[in-house]
Each structure stands twice: as structure tokens, then as C-alpha cells.
Structure 1
Amino acid sequence: MTVKIAIIGGTGVYDPAILKDLRTVEVDTKYGKVAIKVGSYGDKEVAFLARHGEGHTVPPHLINYRANIMALKRLGVRHIIATAAVGSLDLKMEAGHLVVVEDFLDFTKARATTFFDGGEAGVVHTDFTYPYCPRLRQILVQAGEKENLTIHDKAVYVCTEGPRFETPTEIKMYQSFGGHLVGMTSVPEVLLAREAEICYATVAMVTNYGAGISPQPLTHMEVLEAMDANKENIKKLAMKTIELLEVDEDCDCQHALADFGGFTL
């Protein structure tokens, strides 16, 4: 079985309801087993992976990112559309807006960020001049415009370790570094996808302003409520993106490790 498109559902995006003929596939990797929903949308097979597990049972710092990306690679996935709930550091990016991420700042602390740990795995230095697939980003933006959604096409995602939210001083620092959004999951997912030579793009849903920008303290329930109120927009964007995506189109992302002989499972 080869599935060339995958959706990674973040906080509030647990339901692969846009897909038909759903079935669960369990994929075994050396990092652990991963349960993935597989279904169809139109004439395309699509995989759906709940990043935090069904019912949001896995916190961001304990997600088995390597197993997840390796499992999608084993299925034959060439394109990953990742969703994420984020806080905004930019007043122009309001709650409910969608943002296609362009770059990231990594403030994670204790996560496995590579498939290449030396030894038999070797050492690989991957280029990140364009961290998120430019072609897939463009398709996401085009899909958002066709669906008349409020979508921003340039943003720097600040990835923190979590699971706590950020302090007001941290938010000010992230703003001074050029960050527009803050979340807890894009790293190392984006890194591993590039190593696995998979096109990867993140569409973020703004749920709130960061601490110190918003006058009110933030709760996880508020994030879930904000995502629930806007989940139809995420579905519209995903469906239109799948329609527009040419699954066999070549891309530089799919040759990211060419100098190292390519990625091998």
C-alpha cells in the first residue's frame, strides 16, 4: 500500500472526517509502533495521524516524532500537511486566522531531532534554507484564497518545549527575535520530515495572543474551544489543498539527502 499524502492533526484536529472508507493501519518502526488512519478523498489515498494521540493524551515534549515520521515514510507519504494551534505574537494575526509557516526558531530542549545519531546511522547535516516546502506552502495559500479564508503566507514559528505556556518576558524576547507565532510541536517534526525527504508544510490556527499581549491568562480549554470554533476552516483548507496537489510532482525536498546517498528506511 502506498499513501502519498498525510495530514498530521494537532491540538483540536483529531477527527479525519473528510476521509471516506477509513481504516486503521499499524506501522512498525524501530522507534515504536504508530496507528494511522487511512482513507480516501476523491481519487487520492490520504493518511491521518493524530499528533497527540486520540483524545489528546500525549504532551508535546513526549510525542514520538521519529516514529511518526518514519511510519509515514514507510507508507510511501511524499507530502505532509501539518496542523497546529498557536499563540500569536503579531497583532495582525488574530484568533481564527490561518497562517502558513515560513520559518522557525527552535527553543526546544530535550527532544530527539534527527534520525542520524552517528554510528551505523551516520552523520548528516541537512540544509534548511527553506525549512518548510515552498511548493506545498504555495498550494496551501492558493487553497486558502480559493476558499475565501483569512490566511497569512509568511510567519516565523517559535517552538518551545512545553507543556507549559510562555511567560510575558519570553514572549517579548521571541518578538524581538522576529517570531510571529508560538507553539510546541513544529520542531522536530519539520526537521525529521526533511531528513526523510518528505515535503512538509505547517498551517497554524491562531487561538490566542501570547502572554502579556492578551490581558487574560490562557487556559488549555480556551485553546480547544478556539480550535473547535474554527475547525471547519481547517477542513476546507485541507480538502482544497488535497484537490490541488499533484501527488507525483517532484520537489527538492524529496532529494534533500542526495549528497548522502538519499534517505533509507
Structure 2
Amino acid sequence: MSETSSVVGIIGGTGLTTLSGLDITGARTVETPWGSPSSELVEGSFDGQSVVFLSRHGNPHRIPPHQVNYRANIKALYDAGVRTVIGVNAVGGIHRDMGPACVVIPEQIIDYTWGRAGTFFEGDLEQVTHIDFTWPYDQGARSILMQAATAHDVPFAGFGVYGATQGPRLETAAEIRRMERDGCDLVGMTGMPEAALAAELGMRYVCLGLVVNWAAGKSDHIITMAEIEAAIEQGMSGVRQILETSMADLGVLTALAQPS
């Protein structure tokens, strides 16, 4: 498809392996030069907007964060005509305003991951390529998501720095204190290299984070799956409302030739 494709891609994370409300027109299993993506590409219409949905951890949820084939996921979406990607992420809250069930639309990211295949620009290259990654999240898409959250009175934070850790274990309290000193407001395991790979292909990318627990040491109890599941159940309806309300405007934004 052309660079003016208006297809929006949604990458669902923990708690969003399927997308209710999507009028499915087809599903395809695809291959890329970097292997198989995490799941089939589910194509359809969401509130009238053409959408391609991909489950980051597979469906059922089975692929840990450090083994996600991020390159295949992003390339598969690009080849399907996607030029704007919404990465839905389950995250831990560090900032005092980012408690469980809060939605966060961050501005920045710090990468603490290691050993992940994080670029398309390697191997038999004609020249070394560097991309500008000053602003990892598209500002126009961020604004649209924040407007949608406001319209539905969904509790959200429209700022913040996402700290991407390796996983699959959760962090220690000392690691979270270090990340807080570094300026991180929330912590997750899948924000990178997903955002950078999208930037390498010239795609708009935005993170829609759902806080599912306080980060280690930020509450007086250990983190449990019951706590995480309760926050997902409470907050995911807001995530879906934001997605539904923002689709039309994201489609218009996506039709523009270049990311902002």
C-alpha cells in the first residue's frame, strides 16, 4: 500500500489479546524476512476505521516479553498497510499519580533491555543508518488519545517516561528506585524495541499504557497476579473507550504522508 494508507494498527498487550468491538473482515497468518509475528493479523473495522490488530504475546498469551519477535510484528503491520501503531501496554506505576487502573500516555522512554533484536538496519548494509528518536511517541496521536480519554472521563496521565526492562521477572525495589532517579514514571517490558522499530520504518507510534500494579517498593505489599488481574478488569474498559473514540481521528492523521 502507499505511504498515505489510512490503516491503523493496534498491538494488544497483556489483557488485550482480542479486541471486542472489532468488526472482523479477515485474519491472516503471514511471514516476514525476520520470521513469524506473534499472532495472525486480524483485519476489520473498528468504529468505521480500517484496523489491523496483532496480539503481542500471542493468543493465547504465551510469548514472554524478551522473546517477542518485535521486528516481525512491526514489519508485518507495515506490509499490511499500517502507518500508525497504537501499542497497548500493561505497566507498573512509579509516579504517585499513576496508580492501578490509571491510563498513561507517556512522552518519553528509557531502554533498559538487552540482547533483543532491535533494528532493521544490520547485516549486509550499503551504509550505516541512524534515525532521529528524540520524540519516540507521535505527538499528534498522543493528543488524539488524550482527547478521547477526556471525553469519556477515563482517569489518565498525559505525561511520563516509560522505563522498558528486560523481564520476564518483575523488578526489585532497588531497581525501581534507580529508575525513579533516572526519571522514569512507569515501568514495562515491551515498550522497546517496538517503538524504535516503528520509527525506523517511518510509522507513527504511540503508547497507551494501563497501570496494572504499583511498581516494586511503591506499596506495602508484594505484587500478586490477583492485583494485576483486578486492575486489568477495572481499567481495560477505559482503554477500549479511548481506542473506539480515537479511531476516526487517527485514521485522518494516518492518511498524512509523514509522521510528526
Query: Which interval holds the TM-score relative to the shorter structure?
Result: over 0.9
Structure-2 residue corresponding to 1:20: 23
Distance 1:43 1:239 in 2: 9
Using the TM superposition, give the Cα deviation of residue 123 of structure 1 relative to its aligned residue in structure 2, in angstroms. 2.2
Question: How do residues 35-114 of structure 1 correspond to structure 2 at under 5 angstroms?
Answer: 35-114=40-119
Using the TM superposition, give the Cα deviation of residue 118 of structure 1 relative to its aligned residue in structure 2, in angstroms. 4.0
Structure 1 letter corresponding to 2:257: D
- 8 Å contact kept, 1:10–1:50: yes
- 8 Å contact kept, 1:208–1:214: no
| TM-score computed with the length of structure 2 as normaliser | 0.92
- 8 Å contact kept, 1:27–1:71: yes
Q: Secondary structure at the match of 1:23?
A: strand
Structure-1 residue corresponding to 2:163: 158
- 8 Å contact kept, 2:24–2:42: no
Q: Secondary structure at the match of 2:74?
A: helix
Equivalent residue in structure 2 for 1:250, among 241, 251, 257: 257
Structure 2 letter corresponding to 1:7: I
Distance 1:104 1:52 in 2: 21
Structure-2 residue corresponding to 1:7: 10
Equivalent residue in structure 1 for 2:203, among 192, 198, 202: 198
Distance 2:87 2:240 in 1: 12
Over 3 Å counting, the alpha-carbon distance change for 1:123 and 1:225 in structure 2 is farther
Using the TM superposition, give the Cα deviation of residue 14 of structure 1 relative to its aligned residue in structure 2, in angstroms. 1.1
Equivalent residue in structure 1 for 2:132, among 127, 130, 133: 127
Q: Using the aligned pairs only, state the percent identity.
A: 36
Structure-2 residue corresponding to 1:218: 223
Tell whether 2:24 aligns with 1:29. no
Using the TM superposition, give the Cα deviation of residue 103 of structure 1 relative to its aligned residue in structure 2, in angstroms. 0.5
Aligned residues between the structures: 253
Distance 1:199 1:241 in 2: 15
Task: Give unmatched runs, 5+ long, in structure 1.
Answer: 254-265
**How far does the alpha carbon of each residue in 1:39-82 deviate from its partner, in whole angstroms, 9 at most, with x for none?**
11243210110000002100000000000000000001011111
Over 3 Å counting, the alpha-carbon distance change for 1:3 and 1:251 in structure 2 is closer
- 8 Å contact kept, 2:48–2:248: no
Distance 1:39 1:3 in 2: 13
Q: Secondary structure at the match of 2:148?
A: helix
Cα-Cα RMSD: 1.6
- 8 Å contact kept, 2:97–2:157: no
Over 3 Å counting, the alpha-carbon distance change for 1:30 and 1:192 in structure 2 is same
Over 3 Å counting, the alpha-carbon distance change for 1:94 and 1:116 in structure 2 is same
Tell whether 2:107 aligns with 1:116. no
Question: How do residues 178-193 of structure 1 correspond to structure 2 at under 5 angstroms?
Answer: 178-193=183-198
Using the TM superposition, give the Cα deviation of residue 221 of structure 1 relative to its aligned residue in structure 2, in angstroms. 4.5
- 8 Å contact kept, 1:97–1:150: yes
Distance 1:12 1:163 in 2: 16
Distance 2:53 2:150 in 1: 24
Distance 2:34 2:229 in 1: 29
Structure 1 letter corresponding to 2:33: K
- 8 Å contact kept, 1:149–1:233: yes
- 8 Å contact kept, 2:47–2:244: no
Using the TM superposition, give the Cα deviation of residue 249 of structure 1 relative to its aligned residue in structure 2, in angstroms. 2.3
| TM-score computed with the length of structure 1 as normaliser | 0.91
Structure 1 letter corresponding to 2:45: S
